[in-house]
Amino acid sequence: MALSEFALIERFFSRLGASRADVALGVGDDCALLAPASGEQLAVSIDTLVEGVHFLAGTDPAALGHKALAVGLSDLAACGARPAWATLALTLPAVDARWLEGFAEGFGALAQRHGMALVGGDTTRGPLAVSVQVHGLVPAGSALRRDGARPGDRLYVSGSLGDAGLALRQRLAGKVPDEDLARRLDRPDPRVALGLALRGIASAAIDLSDGLASDLGHLLARSGVGATVELEHLPRSAGVAATGDWSLPLSAGDDYELCFSVPPGRLADLTKSMADLDVTVHAVGRVEAGEGIRWRLPDGGQLRPDGGWEHFR
């Protein structure tokens, strides 16, 4: 099969995701033309997934399409931005219509669910890699950032940590993770609704892609503060808890949960705004003056992890 670049893009990517009135011109011209509403800021983030680094060779293309977009949606969630548009740069070793169909299905279904339109892309030949840029909208001045945490703020994480890491570990050992666990690795559910609900409540937020140790470290460094985390309060599934391995929730990464800080005066608002969400949040510690993270074990001792999972290694 020898479809041209243009025919490929047209066929699979010309109408992916939601249809939006603020897309003046979508896929098929030199640029897409987008019309943000007056008074809104644009939140953008770009991420690349490379075969053999971020996903295993032979990964189901639909799961990859889902995940490539989910990673970006998780960044929008961390900023409290409403998803709007995505662009996709796809590098493929060969033209494979079935693979493209699967990828488009996984990407398109998640885009649709978040009201997001695919507005542009580029398809090139090369080793399998996917770059996705997401674009979200947020009222000027109301985005969540990493740099607002202050001593005395309470620290929270959503969902549970370490499931994706456990699923990957099982798969690399030749085991088949159970369905719920596998979904946490293959089809993460970005916390977009949570991010929107945290606007005006959280003092700082970050998404957990590299692991709590690394990502919370970034939030604290940007805010110029430190923290103590009570390990017994970290949300862990029964499977992760059973391993007794703290590296899963702290540095395995790929969780795509949110970590955020809330000032004492906003705790009541937090409780109220969480009532309608389908994800729970867990108080895990406290922001303090100084720097670094103290990881308190249930017995009162301290854990010293080696730091989060790094893509570049």
Query: What part of residues 204-263 is at the interface with a copy of itself (CB under 8 A)?
Result: 205-207, 218, 222
Residues whose CB is less than 8 angstroms from the CB of residue 149 and which lie 6 or more positions away in sequence, other chains included: 203, 204, 219, 220, 223, 225, 261, 287
Contact between residue 32 and residue 23 where contact means Cβ atoms under 8 Å apart = yes
Q: How many Cβ atoms are within 10 Å of 246's Cβ, its own excluded?
A: 19
With binding defined as CB under 8 A, does residue 313 bind a copy of itself? yes
With binding defined as CB under 8 A, does residue 301 bind a copy of itself? no
| Separation of first and last alpha carbons in the chain | 37
x/- site string to a copy of itself, residues 50 to 79, per CB under 8 A? xxxxx--------------------xx-xx
Shortest Cβ 232–a copy of itself spacing (Å): 28
Q: Residue 257 and residue 19: Cα distance in Å, rounded?
A: 27
Q: Read off the tokens for 236.
A: 């862990």
Shortest Cβ 39–a copy of itself spacing (Å): 7
Residues whose CB is less than 8 angstroms from the CB of residue 197 and which lie 6 or more positions away in sequence, other chains included: 273, 274, 276, 277
Closer residue to a copy of itself in complex, CB, 34/216: 34
Site for a copy of itself in 169-208 (CB under 8 A): 205-207
With binding defined as CB under 8 A, does residue 91 bind a copy of itself? yes
Choices 107-115, 120-128, 243-251, 269-277; region in contact with a copy of itself by CB under 8 A? 120-128
Q: Residue 149 and residue 223: Cα distance in Å, rounded?
A: 5
With binding defined as CB under 8 A, does residue 8 bind a copy of itself? yes
Closer residue to a copy of itself in complex, CB, 7/176: 7
Site for a copy of itself in 134-153 (CB under 8 A): 135-136, 138, 140, 143, 145-147
DSSP 195-254: HHHTTTT-SEEEEESS-HHHHHHHHHHHHT-EEEEEGGGS---HHHHHHT-THHHHHS--
Shortest Cβ 268–a copy of itself spacing (Å): 26
Site for a copy of itself in 15-54 (CB under 8 A): 24-25, 28-36, 38-39, 41-54
Closer residue to a copy of itself in complex, CB, 75/186: 75
